Amino acid sequence: MTLTVEPAVPAQVPGDAILRRQRIRESAARTYARSFPIVPVRAHGMTVEGADGRRYLDCLSGAGTLALGHNHPVVLAAIRRTLDSGAPLHLLDLATAEKDDFTSALFESLPREFGERARVHFCGPAGTDAVEAALKLMQTATGRRGALAFTGAYHGMTAGALGVTGSVAVKAPLPSTGEVTRLPYPYPYRCPFGVGGPAAEELAATYTQRLLDDPSGGVVQPAAMILEAVQGEGGVVPAPDDWLREMRRITAERGIPLIVDEVQTGVGRTGAMWAVEHSGIVPDAMVLSKAIGGSLPLAVVVYREDYDGWRPGAHTGTFRGNTLAMAAGAATLRYVRAHGLVERAAVVGERMAARLRALAGELPVIGDVRGRGLMLGVELVDPAGEVDACGSLPADPALAVRVREACLARGLIVELGGRHDAVLRLLPPLTITDEQAAAVLDRLSDAIHAAAATPVSPA
């Protein structure tokens, strides 16, 4: 006799009790849970409903993971179809029909010149593991050790990825984070050279070239350069296209592989399927995660086939074979392309940015509005502070926290980023409607007005 056991369904528990247990049980490293003390119970599209019955517009989207928003019908259908088919859900790196289909969908979406001579490696389910894989791949191919990385970079939290990440706060407690040469990333509002504009881009490129060519510059020929075409955690700072083309030229001429981290920028987020397409550069490797899994964990590194010098087992991971994520990812990649969501991200993103720039004209606490497509940043500043050499005001992280809290109170989820955690980051799903975009901007505007008008208590 076969005994059938019904799966247990979590009991409906008051949200405050769940939050209290989370504080007791989970590590001090938890992040988003501190910023958003809510217990989501249902979600659809851009709307998240909490245990208290309140509804929120989600402009975090799983840190850019949810290209189609929460529980999109095409994603759910792909998951259900896979479950109902009886396909094995976990098979390490064995070949499956689902993996083959995902790989086809991925290669169809890649820039042609890059994808036609590329290989893909399935990594552990987080983007940081794909960064590790890309760095190891280039070390293996070149026989070199070091890496070139940039100020403001974020590439993950494992050892190699943390080494090329820029944040001092997360690296300071650790004894070593690898052999990395840090280069200046163009950041017009807070220019590392104090000049801003096109001159800063030229200086950044010239500095990089001369440092690499200086026999006393202290830089041993590196295994790779890694960069983001738009820095996300670094404050939503888009790299100028001309500067990206210069980085490609400089690395190509010196035999240095170029890795582009597209973990957050990929799958239409910036108004191009992949952010490298804005500049037209062809990297040697691209690191992909977040949206490629259609809301489920998936990460890969795609690279030029002539770098494929790994031995079997050179980079492995138990959870490389997530069948459900591959099915959801393939459905997402095809849906984004078939329904013009890349083009829509560009149009809606520019419309939102224009309104934010107009808002900056009304509110002196907004120092800068920037981004690309539906990857937008609003940097908050102290208008009473002293301007720097570029005429930029000091960041105001305390105000940013108040704005985030005011947004949540108004039913809007936005997170902070940037060098001083003073940049409001907007990452809505690519399926955002015109009405939702207007509502986001209305709530955000109201929140900034209210937070800026709130007297700050003396410490």
Per-residue pLDDT reduced to its tens digit, 99-132: 999 999 999 999 999 999 999 999 999 999 999 9
pLDDT class of 11 with cuts at 50, 70, 90: low
Mean pLDDT of 393-397: 97
Helix pair 73-85, 323-338: axis angle to 10 deg: 140
Per-residue pLDDT reduced to its tens digit, 249-302: 999 999 999 999 999 999 999 999 999 999 999 999 999 999 999 999 999 999
Interatomic CA distance for residues 192 and 195, integer angstroms: 8
The most distant pair of C-alpha atoms in the chain lies apart, rounded to whole Å, by 80
pLDDT class of 353 with cuts at 50, 70, 90: very high
- Using the CB atoms, write b or e for 273-286: b if 16+ within 10 Å: bbbbbbbebbbbbb
pLDDT of residue 170: 77
Interatomic CA distance for residues 48 and 40, integer angstroms: 6
pLDDT of residue 7: 57
pLDDT class of 167 with cuts at 50, 70, 90: confident
pLDDT class of 30 with cuts at 50, 70, 90: confident
pLDDT of residue 105: 98
Q: Over 90: is that where the pLDDT of 80 sits?
A: yes
Mean pLDDT of 354-381: 97
pLDDT class of 177 with cuts at 50, 70, 90: low
Q: Give the number of other CB atoms < 10 A from CB of residue 257.
A: 26
Look up the pTM and report it: 0.94
Interatomic CA distance for residues 69 and 45, integer angstroms: 4
Contacts made by residues 6-14, CB under 8 angstroms, sequence distance 24+: 13/51, 14/51
Interatomic CA distance for residues 39 and 20, integer angstroms: 11
pLDDT of residue 41: 94
Asked if 71 contacts 294 with a C-beta cutoff of 8 angstroms, the reply is no
pLDDT class of 3 with cuts at 50, 70, 90: low
Three-state SS for 171?
helix
Q: Which one, of 201, 176, 197, lies nearest residue 389 by Cα?
A: 197
Q: Over 60: is that where the pLDDT of 434 sits?
A: yes
Q: Over 80: is that where the pLDDT of 165 sits?
A: yes
pLDDT of residue 179: 87
Asked if 179 contacts 223 with a C-beta cutoff of 8 angstroms, the reply is no
Per-residue pLDDT reduced to its tens digit, 287-345: 999 999 999 999 999 999 999 989 998 898 899 879 999 999 999 999 999 999 999 99
Q: Over 60: is that where the pLDDT of 458 sits?
A: no
Give percent of the chain above pLDDT 70.
Answer: 95
Q: Over 90: is that where the pLDDT of 346 sits?
A: yes
Q: Over 60: is that where the pLDDT of 90 sits?
A: yes
Q: Give the number of other CB atoms < 10 A from CB of residue 303.
A: 26
Interatomic CA distance for residues 229 and 396, integer angstroms: 26
Q: Over 60: is that where the pLDDT of 4 sits?
A: no
Q: Which one, of 144, 90, 154, lies nearest residue 122 by Cα?
A: 90
Mean pLDDT of 62-75: 97
Asked if 281 contacts 248 with a C-beta cutoff of 8 angstroms, the reply is yes
What is the chain's mean pLDDT, rounded? Answer: 93
Asked if 314 contacts 136 with a C-beta cutoff of 8 angstroms, the reply is yes
Mean pLDDT of 360-384: 97
Backbone angles phi, psi at 58, to 5 degrees: -95, 105
Better-predicted residue by pLDDT, 24 or 425: 425
